[in-house]
Structure formats: C-alpha cells, structure tokens
Structure 1
C-alpha cells in the first residue's frame, strides 16, 4: 500500500520546488538504486522530451546535470543483430534524418543514424547519433536511477544480462505495457514496472499484479476512481504519466500517486504544488 499521506506528498513537492528535500542524491561510494529513491519521485520522460531531444545522449546529460528529476526514462528497441538502442518508435522517420524500421538495422547501420532535434526546443541542439543502451548504462548506470521501457519484448533477456553484468539490477526499472512481459521481468530478477493507458485502466484490477509489479505507471487522464483503485492496490509505487502541467501533477498527487513521469521536469521542479483550497 502507498503509506505516505497526500498532505505529506504535497509538502514534499512544495519543498522540492524550492530546492528542498527532493534534491537528487549525490554520487557516493555505491550506485544510486531504486531503494534509495525519495518517497515522491520525478521521472524525466525520454529525458524530458519537451525540454531536450528525446532519447538522446545530450538530452540525458542535460537532464542529469539540471537535477530536476530523480529518474531518467529511456525507450529501448532491438536491432537485427541483437543490439539494444535508445529509440521510442519502431521506425526512424519521426526523430531522425533517416527512414525505415529500426529492427532492420545492424549496429554498423546504427552508427550512421542521426537524430533530428525538434526545432521548437529551447537551446542549441545539434544532430547526433542516438545511443545504444550499453552506452546509456555505461554513462549513467548507478549515477541516477534509469527507467528502460522494453518496446520489443524479445529484448528482455538481453537487457537482463546487461544489467546483471554491470551490477545495475537495483538501479534500473524495466517497463512494459504488457503484464506478461512485466511478470517475466520480475522472474528474471529485475525491478518490474507496468504502464497502463486510461482506457485500459477502466477494466484493470491492479491488485492482481501486486506479486510482480514494483511500480505501476498510470495514465493521468484516467478517471478519479480508476486512479484511486490503483493507489489502493497494494503496489508500493504509483506514478502517473505523462504529466506536463502543474495542474495535472497536483491532481494526481491529491489522488494519492507518489510520482510523476513528465516531459517537462524543469517546469515541474520550478512550480510549487498547490494544495486544494479549504472550504
């Protein structure tokens, strides 16, 4: 069960917006793990995709250095030769200067791909090669908690081997929309995260997943009752996605969520939580 009260959550976020208790932990003698996360968490979705180029090394570096999120989210895809790479879509068309299916490429092909930064992003962002997941793990593993969404379920065993080999099992959340994939991640000894859409949540029974779900990632657009049912499911962490405005954040906190996944971590961090007016 989520045991932190809603007033406590609101106070924690209010302090965070003023540079208080949610300042990310400094790198110490050991890796930063999920177990060490604060009771209330900000996750930078794809690195914070309305503030930095999504799933890019430069964007992830900027998100880490800004210190506005305790978790960095990265999407994972698998190439034809088994290489895992950072990419949300199944094709290259939307975010790169290339076209075609990600899965048709080899590692050699991947080195030729260049990201196309959204021109509406603030700042100067140059085209760059999208990273492999090995590069993400080697650059950020243990320095910050990572959330890796396994877009291709058949990549799960490879991802598990990579995490074990680097000693990062407790520092990485492995996310999926499919309960069966999340259960398999749990069986592999990984920290398992399940995300659900507002439509799915209308019929979900989250209590059924308590055995294998460590984080339930719920759609902020879901009905109040569906969100509350998730909060009361017994799953310890209930984080809401994809929250991009302070008003959306304040609502899910009031309903009992203890984390937000956001494309705008900087905006969230700067904006204090508004407690509901007392009648």
Structure 2
C-alpha cells in the first residue's frame, strides 16, 4: 500500500489541459472583476473573429438601402451589425433614411421632417434601385417602403445587432430619448451600438448606459490627421471612431488603436481596400457588400490572398 502511495501520480493529458484551462478562466475572471469592465470572451479565444462586419444601410450593394429587404440580406449574409441611419418624421416617428430628403431613394420629393409617417410610407423606396442597378434588380423591391425603427426591431429582434446612427440630432430634439425608449422596450441593450457625428448626442446616450458601444463619426476632405488630444477627448465618452476610408492610412489606424479606441472605416466596397483594412488591423468595416468582406477575411486567414 505504501509503495503505491510513493509512486508518481499519473496525470492524463486531457486532465492536464482541462486544469490549465480552468486556471486561465479563473485568472481572467479575477482581472475582469478588478477592472470593472465588461469582457469579450469570444475575442479572447477567437481573435480572428474580432473584425466586425457592418452592413452599411443593410446589404445596400444588393438591395435598396435602408429598407427591410436590404436589412434582411445583411442578416442573411451574417453581418455582425446592420447599420440604420435615423431621421424623424413630422409626427415624431423614427425612420430609416440616410438623406434629409426623400428625393434620391424614393419616388417622392421633400424633407423627411416635413412629412408624416403615412405620407412617407406611401412612397416607393425600391424602384430607383432597380433602375440604377439592373443587375441586382428584383420586382419585389418596387414594393419596399421606408421602415420605422420599431418595424425593424419587430422584424429582427435579437437575431442581429444594430448600429444605430443619430442623423442631424440637432434638428430632432429628443431623438435620443425615442431611440433609447425603443431599445429598452425591445430589450436590445446588448444588441445595439450607436454612432453619430454629434458628440452631444453620444454623450447624452452615455449618461444613460455606460456599456453601450459608442462611435464618434469623423469626415475628412483631405488626408486624415488626428491629434492625441482629440483621441483622448473622444475616449472620454466613446469606444471608437468611424472614419471615411479613402482619407486614412495604416499609420492613422495604428495611432487610433494605440490610444485605446476602436476604428471602423466606412464605406469599404472593393477587394483591395478590404484587404488593406484587414492588414492595417482595423476593428471593423462598414461595407455595402458584407458577404464579400467576410470572404476576404476568410481568404486572408487561409493565406489565399
């Protein structure tokens, strides 16, 4: 009996790895508790899945932008987020529309804020796409209407995540309150991020929720430059920035990331540009073609590009 006790304990390889995994998880939990921050476990163990695909106005390369058809395609193509630009109607309803007017993407004319929801939803929001992009045209797109944020939430629920943009919030006092009320009504706090060119809009939302991902949008007319002071300021209320891809380069991306902020360039539609963003180390990309971007990521991971 004593001889058996003196023999070395045999530990199987499976037990060895399981023990170390439990120790790693325990150590990670302690770090998270001490830091007080939410931790993204998938990003820890699956870093290659960390590049986020944002379906820009839905999969708008294949279907009329900011319509349920476009958002359905974005979800079907496994985009991490569907991006929703928000305007407000004359009777106070939040709707998905990028432009201030309906002129470009419907058969009507006029400003969104001067139209009631009924007037807005009487318009054809899809035929323009069929005319402009006949290769992707579908007869059913002619029946697409401008959806409300409520209708989008009802359609997709928790089956996707939403990148919500407050467009021109200075023209729509109380827009953020209406947005957040809908997020809470549908229990979607863990499924939304918010972006805006308006710092004030983002600061207001941050005051209601310390965990919701917020992105400060930036636009450059020439080669992008950003100071450390500005990065520090943005980091005080937001998690990252969204910036027009054609004005940035690898050094810009590295500077932003070194400051602790995320960077999601927009709008990246060509393969060479998609490859650049991945190689530069961006955290996410806005694209009209989410399926193409996911293919580029897969090809780079497999060394095919």
Cα deviation for residue 163 of structure 1 reads 0.8
More contact order relative to length (CA 8 Å, sep ≥ 6): 1
Aligned to 1:16: none
The alignment covers a number of residue pairs equal to: 241
Aligned to 1:122: 136
Q: More helix by proportion, 1 or 2? A: 2
Which residue among 147, 172, 177 is the counterpart of 2:163?
147
- Mark the runs of 5 or more structure 1 residues left unpaired by the alignment: 1-33
Aligned to 2:83: 73
Alignment of 1:17-96 (within 5 A): 38-67=49-78, 69-96=79-106
Which residue among 151, 161, 170 is the counterpart of 2:190?
170
My pick for the range that moved more, 87-96 or 154-163, is 154-163
State yes or no: 1:133 paired with 2:149: yes
Aligned to 1:231: 257
Which residue among 95, 100, 122 is the counterpart of 2:110?
100
RMSD: 2.3
My pick for the range that moved more, 137-146 or 120-129, is 120-129
The answer to whether the 8 Å contact 1:198/1:223 transfers is no
Aligned to 1:255: 280
The answer to whether the 8 Å contact 1:198/1:220 transfers is no
Alignment of 1:194-273 (within 5 A): 194-199=216-221, 201-204=224-227, 205-221=230-246, 222-235=248-261, 237-271=262-296, 272-273=298-299
Q: In 1, Cα distance between the equivalents of 2:178 and 2:66?
A: 19
- Mark the runs of 5 or more structure 2 residues left unpaired by the alignment: 1-38, 44-48
Q: In 1, Cα distance between the equivalents of 2:119 and 2:245?
A: 37
TM-score, structure 1 length as denominator? 0.79
Q: In 1, Cα distance between the equivalents of 2:60 and 2:234?
A: 29
Aligned to 2:213: 191
The answer to whether the 8 Å contact 1:207/1:234 transfers is no
Cα deviation for residue 132 of structure 1 reads 0.6
Moved over 4 A (4+): 34-38, 272-275
Q: In 1, Cα distance between the equivalents of 2:191 and 2:240?
A: 13
